[in-house]
Structure 1
């Protein structure tokens, strides 16, 4: 009986830990729709929860389900202290957007194509325990050690912890190591990744392109394989796309909060996997674009009507915010690695087995070219076409009838 009650508690507590920031995030985003608010809430809530758990873990045996819940509880109290206005605003926004999400006949097939792979992934991660070698030997193992020691033993170092702490949260909520409960976190990441793919494509190219992007992503072989593995590649990709969404909104003339959200999402990508550092050149590209294409003006030929001091100021502000947020979010973990094991441990290197498998050719940057079978041939061919078209539009858009706006968006995608 006690076990059953704990399971029921876990089934409520785990999603609560993943979405507790909804009222505040919804209020902060202002007029953003329900879908955008949901994916942002998930990313920021889990990010905040993982950082809170990391802070607690530095105190011996301080981690417990109740100590972890103090942060979500504080957010709830803060919301109530605000008189429920954030919740009311969230409900109004959700109702309006849910009506707009009602599928029209032309979108039923793409939506079914999205729902089926997500259902397959969800059934797999909730039914089967972890099976992927790197999940068992790193991220799942780290989660187990954190749960069993109620802290952060020195053996847990090197690889970033956001996903491991998400799994550990599921263990604490359930009162035992339970890979199936941890699968709730994996399933949420998969759904959120498709959601942010849809939202980013809709922002840039409209609803039809968004449906196509979500359909192609969800039905790609690679997404389904990694989605059922419990590994960290999909979570990292989610934060990449979330950062891109808010960076694009800022470049389009959106408020400064988009800069902070882009920076926080980038920091969380690096807190998820050290490969997340590859987002840094993209952020540099965003700051450069804010000078070449002054925010909200559209084409580069309009920059002459904008005082150069304004885009330079925007670029400087963007750079400082990106540095500050990434350092704040991911810096403590890499500092701990340094303090425990010295400079060589800041960014741990893969073993010789993985080094031997690495493809060091330049073309390997485009895996849908070198390994199309992993993506599925449809996705691989469309991905190759999209890449080539973006390159052509960015470099010689006037030759193919492109527009300045199209060139700007192609440059953003390439960044």
Structure 2
């Protein structure tokens, strides 16, 4: 076996020793696989030159040059086959480790260049230049230049230029409002640890090994048979055990779903874990979120990289229409009930913690300033609630939650027809691949 650092050093793509020292020690087997997706619903144009791809998943109009991608998902999945001027994702001179990249959903070029992102980070509609994303960092709908995003931080500010974001920062800012929360160092040490040994890593370790094994083996069908309704889909690159799903459900690649039920119109996105849980109707589990022993009522939203750890004795209940902010931690030391129509954030262990880390959406709509523990909100609460609600509705629609058999197809319906190209390159030679198809169904 080689280590990922060996591959990086041998590639000579990255010469800054300080940046190389950030890279974790990961053993890479000699046999590796990458998955390229063909679909009638997406323009398929891949151009990959002098790059190393390990266990990665590629979909859309994407160019990769002089980069290393390890266990990353590069998804141009909002691209429409009827659009001539569709967006292109370009990744150049970058190192993406176990990173999820989604396109910006606009007709423009979406660049990631001169950038390092560490495991479990999300680049979601966020062009990036000359920046570093640490573990579990998320940049969302934000153009980032020459900045450092600390671990377990979530940034949605539109632009970010020449800034260093402290670990555990949750920052959402528009012209109408600003939401700012700071996780404590103690919380980050407990849940992430100094050497990837925190509670979240402990949960991820065995599941990540299962997912990598699936990529190496290329065996997509060795799972329990599940009755999948015609309007629902489960990615062949997910892992699921003992589940029940209803109509219009979408379970994305790299999701892990175990001993759970998923109601009508709900979706579980990339890198999510849902175990011993029940999702009712139109529930959104956003990228990287983890739910254990949790019941989510109708129209609940659980944000990026949130960690909800209930137990059999102390389950978590999310009330109807509640919103769990990105990078929220709920680690139940007693049974936790989130009331209907509430926004929650921060670190919650007992029911009394909700006093500092929650507010009803109706109350939030009426106020302009909140100051609580490690938290400040300024601006229009009404604009915040409306923006969040609008985005949740968009996510549900795009994922096919409102599908009828005549219209409103989303990922749950379209992703049933993926075809897979399984590529196992040599570890000693860079990848040199070109795939180009037009958008006619018979050629995908």
Fold-level similarity (TM above 0.5): no
- Structure (1 or 2) with the greater helix fraction: 1
Which is strand-richer, 1 or 2?
A: 2
How does the TM-score come out when normalised to structure 1? Answer: 0.30
TM-score, normalised to structure 2's length? 0.29
